[in-house]
Amino acid sequence: MTTFKPGRRAVLASALALPWVGAARAAEAWPNRPLRVIVPFAPGGPADGLARMLAERVLGPKLGQPVVVENRGGAGGVIGTGAAAQANDGHTLLFGSISMTIVPHLQAQPVGYDVVKDFTPLAQIASTPFLLIVPASSPFKDVAGLVAAAKAKTRSITAANSGYGTLSHMTTELFNRQAGVEIEPVVYRGEGVLLPDLLGNEVGMGFLTLSSMLPHLQAGTLRALAVAGEKRLPELPDVPTLTEAGVPGIEVDGWQAMFAPRTVPAEGAARVAAILAEAMAQPEIRERITSFGAVPASRSNADFVAMVPAEFQTWGALVKERNIRVE
């Protein structure tokens, strides 16, 4: 695999600071062939839809080359992410998610790539907010009451999650650490599968996505105790953040973003980043992102570039501290 010489991130940062026309001229020789965007998940999901929308409406027209989306699902995203890391054509991108910073820590064997060293973040596209959800019949009306009950009797409360190693699962583990409790995770294969048990109060709570839970919250069959993010949500303005509710240090963001493997020229990566930044300012693109059940990202790319290695370290430390074993 070709390795870029030192200073690639500096070149990218410098190019990003240029006006749009300057960035385009700096990379006018790239791309010189069709591009491929690898989505490390199965077809039909939100990530697939977002990647295809960007390929068809943004990247293809702006770059003047066909952009093909390739689904390479499996192993929690490891297969597709590994394929992108190993691509040596200089014309492959990755549409990744927060799972990139979690799943490698859960594998029995090395995944064969380094999320921080082998990829350059180009733009965060979307966020998926998570909420602390309980059944409508739950005795817990607020986070303080739930924490008090969990401290009074260890593992007396169960928390449904959408899969082992998912952000839903890991947020429960993070909540256990930050709140000083031991809530028992219960693993399901997706939010749709766990929903009947949650509605029936067979499990006590869960950290689950706004898009899936909102209809049930509006119908009054589920109740949100807190937002597991840095700020309240416009859809639920009366629901506090976990920090406001007395459990700080939990600000998760189920992000989805575009990345360039290190074999993409720095100038080319900067060009894609500039195109995506321009697109993210367009109301029609943000509306399309919303149509996939996601929240359009508002984080600057400079902040996102800094966030990725920080999250990788955070989740790695949590896996070790909580002794989360590979399944």
In a domain, 17, yes or no: no
Query: Are residues 133 and 121 both part of a single domain?
Result: no
Question: What CATH number has the domain bearing residue 118?
Answer: 3.40.190.150
In the chain, % of residues over pLDDT 70: 91
Q: Is residue 1 part of a domain?
A: no
Residues 293, 305 share a domain: yes
Same domain as 154, residue 137 = yes
Note whether residue 167 is domain-resident: yes
Asked whether residue 241 falls in the same domain as residue 140, the answer is: yes
Per the domain annotation, does 11 fall within a domain? no
**Would you say residue 9 lies in a domain?**
no
C-alpha span between 175 and 275 (Å, rounded) = 37
Q: Is residue 100, in this structure, part of any structural domain at all?
A: yes
Say whether both 42 and 191 belong to one domain: no
Of 23-32, 52-61, 89-98, minimum mean pLDDT range: 23-32
Residue 29 lies in a domain: no
Q: Is the pLDDT of residue 221 over 90?
A: yes
Q: Is the pLDDT of residue 162 over 90?
A: yes
CA distances from 172 to 1, 228, 232, 268 (A): 38, 10, 19, 39
Give the mean model confidence (pLDDT) for residues 223-238.
96
- One domain for residues 278 and 302: yes
- Of 194, 223, 245, which marks where a domain is finished? 245
The per-residue pLDDT for range 78-120, each reduced to its tens digit, is 999 999 999 999 999 999 999 999 999 999 899 999 999 999 9
pLDDT at position 106 is 94
Given a cut of 70, is residue 191 above it in pLDDT? Answer: yes
pLDDT of residue 325: 76
More confident residue, 3 or 107: 107
Number of domains in the chain: 2
State both tokens at 72: 């390479």
* pLDDT, tens digit, 9 for 90 and up, residues 239-290: 999 999 999 999 999 999 999 999 999 999 999 999 999 999 999 999 999 9
231 with 272, same domain: the answer is: no
Q: Is residue 90 part of a domain?
A: yes
pLDDT of residue 26: 43
CATH classification of the domain holding 229: 3.40.190.10
Residues 56 and 119 in one domain: yes
Q: Domain residues for 59?
A: 35-127+254-322
CA neighbor of 199 nearest in space, from 218, 224, 221, 215: 221
Same domain, 85 and 232: no
Question: Which of 191, 220, 245 is a domain's end point?
Answer: 245
pLDDT at 27 over 50: no
Instruction: Answer yes or no: do 218 and 236 share one domain.
Output: yes
